[in-house]
Structures are given as structure tokens and as C-alpha cells.
Structure 1
Amino acid sequence: MERTAALIILIVSGLLLLFVVLRKKLGFAWLTVFGTHLILAALGIYIVNFSGLLTDIYLPLNPATIGTVTVLGLPGVIMLIGLKISLF
């Protein structure tokens, strides 16, 4: 019963999202911008991990860290480094 309700909610929300995207005439150009931000976020974390400048710091490449850097940009990388230093 719960699985069916979750599936119905997923389908309805997906259709509503598609409706909003097409109604606002945003097209799919926003996917290019989002993809570019996602790639640059992963690249920024990769550079921090393997540059050798901060040998004690390793930021994992997972959805949480990449999402943070995608939304916040370079300050997000700095924030993650600060959290890593202060918590460990």
C-alpha cells in the first residue's frame, strides 16, 4: 500500500514538474547549466583531493558534497574543507 502511494506521488510530481518546465518555456537549456555546475563541482573536489596542497584533507565524491558545491560554488568547497578541519 505504501509503495503504491509513493509511486503515485512520484509519477504525479514528475508530470507536474514537466508541466512547469514546458509551460514556462524554459526549455531544456537549464539542464546544460546544471550539468556544467555539476561537472565543475566534481572537478573542484577532485582538485582539492589530489592536488597535494592539503595532505590531511580528503573530501569524498558523493551526492551530498557535490550537491553542496553545485549550489554554493567555490565557497562550498571552502566550507567543506573548513568543516573537515574543524570536525576531525
Structure 2
Amino acid sequence: MLRTIAIGVLFLSAIILILIVFRKKLGWGWLSLFGTHLILAALGIYLVNFSGLITEVYLPLNPATIGAVTVLGLPGVIMLLGLKITLY
């Protein structure tokens, strides 16, 4: 029952998102910009992990870390490094 409700909410939100994209005439330019940010975020985390500058820190490539770096940019990588060093 709960799974059916979750799938229904996901389906409804996808339809509303598609309507917003086509109604506001955003086009597909935002998608290429988001893709570029996503690739650069993954590349930034990858460079931190395998550069060897900070050997004791490893940032995992998961949706949370890539999402933070995608939204925040280079300061997001620095934020994740600071959190990793401080908390762990």
C-alpha cells in the first residue's frame, strides 16, 4: 500500500515537472548546463580523491556528495573536505 502511494507521488511529480518545463518554455538549455555541472562535480571529487595532496581524506562518489558539489560548485568540494576532516 505504501509503495503504491510512493509510486503515485513520484509519477505525479514527474508529470508536473514536465508540464512546468514545457509551459515556461525553458527549453533544453538548462539540461545541458546541469549536465555540465554534474560532470564537473564528479571530476572535482575524483581529483581530490586521487590527487594525493590529502592522503587521509576520501570523498565517496554518491548522489549526496555529487549533488552538494553540483549546487555549490568548488566551495562545495572545500565544504565536503572540511566536514570530512572535522567529523571523521
Q: What's the TM-score once normalised by structure 1's chain length?
A: 0.94
Aligned-residue Cα RMSD (Å) equals 0.9
The correspondence of residues 9-88 of structure 1 with structure 2, limited to 5 A, is 9-88=9-88
Q: Which amino acid aligns with 1:62?
A: N
Q: Residues 4-52 of structure 1: CA distance to partner in whole angstroms, max 9, x if unpaired?
A: 2222222211111100000000011111000000000000000001011
Q: Provide the rounded CA distance (Å) in 2 between the counterparts of 1:67 and 1:25.
A: 25
For structure 2, the 5+ residue unaligned runs are none
Q: What's the TM-score once normalised by structure 2's chain length?
A: 0.94
Q: Provide the rounded CA distance (Å) in 2 between the counterparts of 1:7 and 1:46.
A: 33
Identity of aligned residues (%): 70
Q: Which amino acid aligns with 1:65?
A: T
| Secondary structure class of the residue paired with 1:55 | coil
The number of equivalent residue pairs is 88
Q: Provide the rounded CA distance (Å) in 1 between the counterparts of 2:77 and 2:21.
A: 30
| Secondary structure class of the residue paired with 2:27 | coil
Q: Provide the rounded CA distance (Å) in 2 between the counterparts of 1:7 and 1:64.
A: 22
